[in-house]
Copies of this chain bind each other. A is one copy, B any other.
Amino acid sequence: MSELKNDLLLRALKGEQVSRPPVWMMRQAGRYLPDYIKLREKYDFFTRVETPELACEITLQPVDQVGVDAAIIFSDILVIPQAMGMTVLMEEGKGPSLPNVVKTKADIDALITTGVEERLGYVMKALSLTKRELNNRVPLIGFAGAPWTLLCYMVEGKGSKTFDKAKQFCFTQPELAHSLLQKITDMTIAYLKAQVAAGADLVQVFDSWSGMLSPADFKLFAQPYLVQIADAVSEYAPVILFPKGSWYALGDLSKTTASGLGLDWSVTPSLAREMTNNSITLQGNFDPSKLLAPTKQIKKEVTEMIDAFGTQRYIANLGHGILPNIPVDHARAFVDAVKEYEGASVKA
């Protein structure tokens, strides 16, 4: 790890002194990048995900073209339900669908929970290849979906404004829900350990739908599984937890073995620091829609964001994935604004 030329992200996660905050963007690989769109026209989604050379190429694009301080492997959180035996369809521009949802104990019993290293061998190959191609320029991030978020898709069968089928499953059959969450958790732990073994320098766990849960239900259906993953994986590599919408859980999660917490833009930096007692590295939380603003305004607001978070124990990022309609020079303006903050920091 020490051979990394740019180790800002790892230093920030360890709480070590950094010259400026590291910066990367959730969903930075794909979507808005013209070179990605060209690949999308030639190869379908799962071909891009399952071909290590393509996943590697896509992963490197934002490092080369936007200048982020970390690469995050191009993949999808739904590869875990797939590896557990579920069918996952991905229609371009339509979002995922899982035609055979989990409904019963028999459905849960039928799920596969072993052999993730082989079943998702293409992810490990993509990581190894990317690690080599990166040539230690920046750290490589692995990732997985959080158990609650994966349950949402596995039970609901598709995206939803309310995920009420998934919630109904949890509220009416909590024992089944917990057995499903535990199976996903076990599989995810093995998956993330394998990602680290294959070359990931750190991992992030995306709980994209945790904010659908009340604070009490988050403690029942999301938090215990996030904690298990952090405990099991953080011996091997730093873990960032991103419970989108669950600002209420920041205090609890700051006391776990995770090294960092991702924030969406509904929470102010000062409140997030207060809730976490300034004891953990925070990551976020620029409103992704604000990358549609003029670049001058982006720079101004990024500077204000860093002023508010401080330069230490901080990773500049968006508050959720970058939107498909962001001009590349606006993404670059975001990254540059963080890099240029060095000067402001020296002035201060």
B323 lies within 8 A of A162 (CB) = yes
**Which stretch from A80-88, A101-109, A128-136, A292-300 is at the chain B interface?**
A292-300
B248 engages A164 (CB within 8 Å): no
Chain B hits for A325, CB < 8 A: 164
**CB-CB contacts of A247-284 with B at 8 A, as 1s and 0s?**
11000000000000000011110010000000000000
Pairwise interchain contact B248-A289, C-beta atoms closer than 8 A: no
| B171 lies within 8 A of A217 (CB) | no
Contact between chains at B290 and A266 (CB < 8 Å): no
Shortest distance from the beta carbon of A295 to any chain B beta carbon, whole Å? 11
Q: Check B289–A162 contact: CB distance below 8 A.
A: yes
Decide yes or no: A293 and B248 within 8 Å by CB, A164-B325, A214-B287, A287-B217 being known contacts: no
Are A245 and B266 in touch, CB under 8 angstroms? yes
In the assembled complex, the CB of A325 is this many whole angstroms from the nearest CB of chain B, namely: 7
Interface residues of A in 135-191 (CB under 8 A from B): 162-164, 167-168, 171-172
Q: Are B214 and A293 in contact (CB under 8 A)?
A: no
Chain B residue numbers with a CB within 8 Å of A248 are: 266-268, 271
12 contacts between A and B (CB under 8 A): A162-B288, A162-B323, A163-B289, A164-B292, A167-B287, A167-B290, A168-B293, A171-B289, A172-B293, A214-B266, A248-B267, A248-B271
A333 to chain B, nearest CB (A): 13
CA of A257 to CA of B162 in the docked complex: distance in angstroms?
A: 32
- Residues of A in contact, count (CB < 8 Å): 32
CB distance from A85 to the nearest CB of B (A): 27
Q: In the docked arrangement, what's the CA distance between A167 and B326, Å?
A: 13
CA A245 – CA B245 in complex, angstroms?
9
Additional 6 contacts, C-beta under 8 A, given A163-B289, A171-B297: A164-B288, A168-B293, A213-B287, A214-B265, A215-B266, A216-B268
Which B residue sits closest to A217, measured CB to CB? B287
A289-B323 contact given A211-B266, A266-B215, CB 8 Å threshold: no
Q: How far is the CB of A249 from chain B (nearest CB, A)?
A: 10
**CA of A289 to CA of B152, assembled, Å:** 13
Contact string against B for A residues 204-220, beta-carbon threshold 8 Å, 1 for contact and 0 otherwise: 00000001011111000
Q: Are B268 and A171 in contact (CB under 8 A)?
A: no
Point out the residue from B171, B211, B297 that lies within 8 Å of A292, measured CB to CB.
Answer: B171
- Shortest beta-carbon distance from A238 to chain B in Å: 27
Does B245 lie within 8 Å of A289, measured CB to CB? no
CA–CA, A287 and B166, complex, Å: 13
A268 in contact with B215 (CB, 8 Å): yes
Contacts of A172 in B (CB 8 A): 292-294
Cβ–Cβ < 8 Å partners of A287 in chain B: 167, 213-214, 217
Contacting residues, chain B, for A267 (C-beta < 8 A): 215, 248
